[in-house]
Amino acid sequence: MAILIDGKSLSKSFLAKIRQELGEFKANNANFQVGLAIVQVGDRADSNIYIRNKLRTAGDVGINAKHLKFNRSVNESILIDEINKLNSDPKIHGIIVQLPFDSENSIDSDLIVNTVSPNKDVDGLHYANAGKILHGQVDKAFVPCTPKGCLELIKSTGVDLKGKNAVVVGRSKLVGSPMANLLKLNDCTVTICHSKTVDLPTICRSADILVVGIGKPKFVKSDWVKPGAVVVDCGINSVQSGEKNKICGDVDFEDVSKMAKFITPVPGGVGPMTVTMLLQNTLESAKRYYMNYEVDAQWKCG
């Protein structure tokens, strides 16, 4: 049976490190603080849950998170003005835009996401951050939280990535495409698959590292998996189980556990790491700010 890659526990240890590091910065510099702004339009129930979780976890580690909730009537130009205010606010180091919008007006989400300063884009969605990832300049970029978390989960197994065959199923800009690039930068030979891929099972069977993010419950079966592989499941699917709804991944966990050497569960795998990586990026952003500016001059002015 596969060894569980425990995202909950890994996430906890990352959060503890973030809290500690932040505390040390504060101890050395009375003005040091880390601020995150979450921009929401409308009142989607799922967004409300995600945001509540982000606010709570940020608070737990000592990050000042601020929720800007606009009602459904807000328009694009107001939103742009508000984001520009956050861009120039020295107390804010991370800005995220909760998608999708719940709005009366048509709002171009690409435009809004790209209005966020690339230096505060802790979701890693700005073109400039995506470009730095394509160009291999991860240290200067913000990496999107889900693939960043997946990479940490893979690394936590201790498996050496160099020269390994990695297969990524899914090519979205949020999950699959940046994941493939991260694995490439970690010296894997990477194959990226999608709904037009022919004979997906055979391709998956070539993977030493298999990352799946497609949004299809229990899609990947044990006979798609090479014995000994590391399997990471990004899927979050709600399926009916008796009277209730249950969350499951894109991988058939029970079945694939028989074949893989390491596997992430759903829930408790990639999910918890995603929020943690957001906070990691936010701390990283504050540190870059702190390194690049005259801290005392800047932090006092806010």
Ligand X SMILES: NC(=O)C1=CN([C@@H]2O[C@H](COP(=O)(O)OP(=O)(O)OC[C@H]3O[C@@H](n4cnc5c(N)ncnc54)[C@H](OP(=O)(O)O)[C@@H]3O)[C@@H](O)[C@H]2O)C=CC1
d(CA 150, CA 274): 8
**Residue 153 one-letter amino acid:** L
d(CA 117, CA 103): 23
Binding of residue 178 to ligand X (CB under 6 A): no
d(CA 128, CA 57): 27
87 vs 237 by CB, closer to ligand X = 237
CA angle 86, 92, 97 (to 5 degrees): 60
Specify whether the CB–CB gap between 165 and 191 falls below 8 A: yes
Q: How far is the CB of 170 from its own copies (least distance, A)?
A: 11
Specify whether the CB–CB gap between 209 and 229 falls below 8 A: yes
Q: Please report the DSSP string for 269-294 in residue order.
A: SHHHHHHHHHHHHHHHHHHHHHHHS-
Interface pattern 182-211 for ligand X (x via CB under 6 A): -----------xxxxx--x-----------
Candidate residues 91, 205, 216, 261; the one interacting with ligand X per rule CB under 6 A: 216
Binding site for its own copies (CB under 8 A): 110, 126-137, 162-165, 171, 173, 177-178, 180-181, 184, 187, 189-194, 196-198, 203
33 vs 115 by CB, closer to its own copies = 115
Binding of residue 213 to ligand X (CB under 6 A): yes
175 binds, among ligand X, its own copies, none (CB under 5 to 8 A by kind): ligand X
Residues 48-77 that bind ligand X (CB under 6 A): none
Candidate residues 143, 234, 251, 279; the one interacting with ligand X per rule CB under 6 A: 234
170 binds, among ligand X, its own copies, none (CB under 5 to 8 A by kind): ligand X
From the candidates 26, 54, 69, 216, give the one annotated as an active-site residue.
Answer: 54
Candidate residues 7, 42, 176, 178; the one interacting with ligand X per rule CB under 6 A: 176
Residue 54 a catalytic site member: yes
68 vs 200 by CB, closer to ligand X = 200
Specify whether the CB–CB gap between 148 and 282 falls below 8 A: no
Candidate residues 18, 36, 133, 214; the one interacting with ligand X per rule CB under 6 A: 214
Q: How far is the CB of 193 from its own copies (least distance, A)?
A: 5
Strand order in the sheet with 94-97: 64-70, 35-41, 94-97
135 binds, among its own copies, ligand X, none (CB under 5 to 8 A by kind): its own copies
CA angle 293, 299, 301 (to 5 degrees): 110
213 binds, among its own copies, ligand X, none (CB under 5 to 8 A by kind): ligand X
Q: How far is the CB of 175 from ligand X (least distance, A)?
A: 4
**Residue 116 one-letter amino acid:** V
**Residue 115 one-letter amino acid:** T
Nearest to 220 by CA among 232, 228, 208: 232
Half-sphere exposure of 205 (CA within 13 A, CB side): 8
Q: How far is the CB of 204 from its own copies (least distance, A)?
A: 11
Specify whether the CB–CB gap between 129 and 121 falls below 8 A: yes
Residues 249-288 that bind ligand X (CB under 6 A): 250, 270-271, 274
Q: Please report the DSSP string for 106-130 in residue order.
A: ---HHHHHTTS-TTT-TT--SHHHH
8 vs 173 by CB, closer to its own copies = 173
Q: Which residues are catalytic?
A: 54
Binding site for ligand X (CB under 6 A): 146, 169-172, 174-176, 193-197, 200, 213-216, 234-237, 250, 270-271, 274
